[in-house]
Chain A
Amino acid sequence: MNGLTTPDLVQMLAAMLFCIGMFGVLSRRNLLIVLMSIELMLNAVNVSIVGFSREMAHLERGAAEGGQVLVLMTMAVAACEVAIGLSILIALFRHVRSVDIDAPRATLLRN
């Protein structure tokens, strides 16, 4: 590692995880996998925030804890998002009998 510090390593890891999730969202057609990829992207952001929080832990009291609280909030939002997303998926499956996001009748909302 040419001069790469541990905090930078964590941020790079978060960036790579985010991009893997982005690849999944852009390339896959199965709505279940797309939702999982979105979860991976949210996790990458969590990793990034926790890394920054750890970096600022030596600052005055309260500077770093905000980041940790923010991660808990992100987790709650992610849980809500998955619940809504999966129920939309089930509603879509009932109508179209497919979880392919490019299925002929699944794209009705687009135009």
Chain B
Amino acid sequence: MKLFLDASVLNDMLKPLSKDRWKFETAAHLLNRAGFGGPPAQIQTLAGLDHDHAISFLIDYEKIPDPTLNPDWAKPDPDRMKQVREMNQHGTPEGKKQFQRAQQQILQREMIELRGWWLQRMARGPRPFQEKMVLFWHGHFATSVDKVRDAYYMWRQNELFRRLATGNWQGLLLEAGKDPAMLIWLDQAQSRQQHPNENYARENMELFALGEGHYTEKDVTEGARALTGWSLDRITQKYIYRPRIHDDGEKTFLGRTGNLDGDDVIAQIVAQPQAAKFITAKIWNFFSGQRPDEKLNDALAAVLRANGNNFKPFLRVMFRSEEFYTNDIVRNEVKSPVQWLVGSVRMLECDLPPTIVSWGMLRQLGQDLFAPPNVKGWDGGLTWITTNTLLTRYNDAETLVAGTLPELTPADFARKPGGAGGEKAMKVLERVRMGGVNLEKILSPDERDNKDTLVAALQHRLLQTTLKGDQENALQEFLDSKEKLTDADIRTTIRLIMSTPEYQVA
């Protein structure tokens, strides 16, 4: 496998980080970005390896067994699908209504289960980097259950992202395009030769593979014609090619002419140099928190192409590069709500709150998994932070640390903003009991006893750096007002550190 190109092609960029810079802080940075962070001991272990091995430990996860079991409903269900069809065709209005209501309840239950299933994999699973990539692809191919309306399809797409997390660009585009969730989400399943639906053809180029300005309106209509025939068998719940609805006339798409089909469309897109540029910019942006400049983007794209459009070797180069560890990148990315929640759980070595609570938190914070706001995905970056979401983060810190319930209302669980349907979730919430942080697990007896060592240990664990002088003084003042430190005081101290601007970045 060819990892590196000539230095001249790379313009002297993406050189490996020098050995002396690989230490606790840089290891913490790698674990934050190529995972969801972790406790000091884990960071120390990484820092103790050499840089390449540390990267390999995270990204060559295939060797690590992952014993996660799939939800029992996560399989095709032709009998139910036949029932749906029967009801749609012959049901009475009243019967249809009842049936739909029942289906809706099943969907709600399964989606909560699915969210919990994925969050657990992120928070406790043995392959954090794989899950981080799944999160990236989910935001990239942003597909929402609000339109797909089927938990099995959402699970299946999530599994596809997991299977191809660090795979081949063309292979991923092709499989993601033919996956049922996408076929429904962007209407490709309904596209016919007589009336090609342009939704997927357009968004695939605009948002998934090339970016605006790198194709023409003509490419959209011609691409849509070529893509006809990609369809969904709603009984077997699998992709099916239907030659009868395919337009087999001649098309010209991105400069190539012939009786093109959907596979040709994908191949032709990936053949554009822009395809590698587009996706490497987006991956760099996701992991580094900064948009690459033109020179860096060219170098990144060159690495991906030189490696046959395979992401794994590209990611290896990215994570070992000097550029990934500069000052404007380290500890300068706003944590996404998922990173905030999962990272906190990993750093505090505590349990993820019950799914109903975690889900409510993520919705309030603006990142409802499996329901991105639109096909563009989450805007991310600074847009995660508003006065509202910041105070919510500060208050959610109390929930995590002390194990108290957050202030959620039925509206926080409504299917659509302003809609109804949240009351049931509130009933579930009433029965929830939470644990909070186990102090003995994360702090030594001395650290729990001595105010100075306590503050130092907590900063080390939660920030991997120190607070500003005045902030630390404020914390000391708080502790000094207590004669003897109780567990509640220590929990408040943790919560206060989490209630700072500094804790919102990694």
To the question of whether A and B form a pair in one complex, the answer is no
